[in-house]
Every structure is written in structure tokens, then in C-alpha cells.
Amino acid sequence: MDTKTKGIVATIASVVLCGCPGLFICLFGALTASGNGTFNEQSLSPTVGFVLICLSLIFIVIPIAVGFFMLRKKPEAPAGSEPLPPAS
């Protein structure tokens, strides 16, 4: 496999494993922060919602960073660029 294919596979895997759960955690955190989140008939603190929103932003940024670093064009060395011999 070439590097571009590996980059695409890594990006798709990170979206499935981090991006999608991050979006669901963000939605649950927004509901909890607004005061509508309940768990076992008890209302959760809005602080829990804000923490979940911050955590979800980290999960959402991971696939973006993986896609950027894996799929970017790497600069190529100029043609005829050889290392200089040591000075005597």
C-alpha cells in the first residue's frame, strides 16, 4: 500500500472511532448543559455537560489532525540536491 492509501484508511478509522463518538458526546453534553439531561430519573449537573462538550471537542479534532498530517503533500527535495562534502 502506498502512503496515500494508508492516510485515507487512517483518516476513515479515526473518523469512525473518534469523530462519531465525539459528535454524540457533544449532543449529550449540550443537552446536559442546558438542564435537560437526565440519567436514571435524576438530573445531571450542567457542569457535567460542559465537561462533556470540552471532551467531545478533543475527539472531534483528532480526525481533523490525522487527515491533515496523513494526506498533506510533503515537500520534495530539489533535483540534484546532494549533501555537501565536509570541509577540509
pLDDT per position in the chain (88 positions), as tens?
888 899 999 999 999 999 999 999 999 999 999 888 777 778 888 899 999 999 999 999 999 999 999 988 777 766 666 777 787 7
Long-range (24+ apart) CB contacts under 8 A made by 54-61 are 55/25, 55/29, 56/22, 56/23, 56/25, 56/26, 56/29, 57/22, 57/26, 58/22, 59/18, 59/19, 59/21, 59/22, 59/25, 60/18, 60/19, 60/22, 60/23, 60/26
What pTM was computed for the model? 0.75
